[in-house]
Amino acid sequence: MSHHHHHHHNQSGKNLKIAFFLNLGFTILEFFGGIYVNSVAIMSDAVHDLGDSLSLGTAWYLDKKSHKAADNKYSFGYKRFSLLGALINSLVLIAGSVYVISEAVGRLFDPQPSDAQGMIVFAIIGVLVNGYAAWKLSGGSSLNEKTVSWHLLEDVLGWVAVLIVAIVLKFTDNQYLDPALSLLITLYILYNVIIRLKETLYIFLQGVPKEINPEKIKEDILKINNIDSLHHMHVWSLEGEHHVFTSHIKLKNITCFQELFEVKKQIKNLLKKYHFDHYTIETELDNETCELISSEKHDHDDEHRHDHHKHSH
């Protein structure tokens, strides 16, 4: 298992690295090309690609960082760093999109001719370079790789669109096509980025992973013999893939250590099927009172009384 896992880690880093260098080289080429053929679509794409290169760079760096083992500074390890990568990428994309929109709107009011032939050549290179990089990253499972492969995929779409416009421009002289098109693509990109950003922030704010139902876990645990109740149950995710579970469990009718071990074993077996990266279980015996529970219990009792009051009416 660990061998396979390790291989996957190396692979994601390598893919990000390839995509980073491809993109960076292409961005430099684009800046000069955009000036040469006088196309706002290519210039704004160059800025966009520069943003991509930056975020690929951070993604690659943070991806390396995120595979470091836990230490005294980050006791859960560095996995959350890849989330930071996804967050930075989303913000760069939003900024880039805003820039492209303002450029395109400017061109709608003040149209300018471009060199269609040059645009065609560039668009073909653009489709190939970004297509290859997106394909390298499309199989990635980390949120980071997914965000980055979105980046590249949208670039491919952008270049396909530039190609179509350039071919049309070759035969007609409609200077509104180029900016109108970049507006459409950018709005589509923004829509996707915002969905991703919401996912990333949800994990950042320690939301319960979507595929886990805490109530179901609670029910299953309470079915185990000798368990009275549980409190302080928390489920969260390190970066969308590796999840963490902690809970305090109140036991009843425990007469010997053997029973205690048995209960713990059953809880752990039950948690195994959820693939938690870490789990911590605190058990409390009949006559123990948990200091943490008193404030929680107090609120709960009030609620309970309130419900009871409602029912009796």
| pTM for the full predicted model | 0.67
- Average pLDDT value for residue range 223-235: 88
Lateral strand order in the sheet of 276-284: 227-237, 243-251, 276-284
- Which pLDDT score, from 0 to 100, does residue 305 have? 47
The sign of the dihedral angle between the CA atoms of 82, 83, 88, 94 is positive
- Which pLDDT score, from 0 to 100, does residue 198 have? 92
Tens of pLDDT, residue by residue over 156-179, are: 877 887 888 888 888 887 778 777
The sign of the dihedral angle between the CA atoms of 199, 203, 206, 208 is positive
Phi, psi of 112 (to 5 degrees): -140, 145
Is the pLDDT reported for residue 298 higher than 60? no
